[in-house]
């Protein structure tokens, strides 16, 4: 699992049937202080949680989790939003 910030959305006029239930998002990993971490964005699927731009989300990067949350075995994705984070606290 990893904390990420939603930095964009993907709009597609045509999608594979297995992707129609979800919303495609561009996410970027963040450090525990909330700042963007690294240089790589990822494409993630939101299975219906309602994440949007600037939200902090918790993602999983595993195909089995995508299959379970989307309820299908044929989803061509390996990054899925598993939660929208309201707040976090890091102890010293």
**Pick the residue with more confidence: 69 or 2?**
2
Q: What is the pTM of this model?
A: 0.85
> DSSP secondary-structure letter at 70?
H
Q: Could you give all domains of the chain from N- to C-terminal order, each with its CATH number?
A: 2-85 (2.40.50.220)
Residue 18 in this model has a pLDDT that exceeds 80: no
* Helices and strands (H and E) in the chain: how many: 1, 5
CA 73 to chain CA mean position, Å? 18
Predicted confidence band of residue 83 (pLDDT cuts 50, 70, 90): very high
For the residues 15-39, what does the mean pLDDT come to? Answer: 87
**What is the predicted pLDDT for the residue at 21?**
80
Please choose, from the candidates 22, 90, 82, the residue with its C-alpha nearest in 3D space to the C-alpha of residue 56: 82
CA-CA distance, 50 to 28, in Å (whole number)? 17
User: Average per-residue pLDDT in the chain?
Assistant: 88
**What is the predicted pLDDT for the residue at 26?**
96
Dihedral sign computed on CA atoms, order 87, 64, 70, 30: positive
Residue 42 in this model has a pLDDT that exceeds 90: yes
């Amino acid at each position: 699992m990893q904390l990420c910030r939603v930095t964009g959305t993907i709009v597609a006029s045509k999608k594979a049937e297995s992707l129609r239930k979800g919303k495609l998002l561009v996410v970027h990993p963040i450090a525990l202080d909330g700042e963007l971490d690294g240089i790589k964005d990822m494409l993630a699927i939101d299975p219906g949680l309602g994440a949007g731009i600037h939200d902090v989300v918790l993602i999983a990067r595993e195909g089995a989790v995508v299959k379970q949350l989307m309820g299908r075995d044929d989803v061509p994705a390996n990054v899925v939003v598993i939660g929208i984070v309201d707040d976090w606290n890091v102890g010293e």
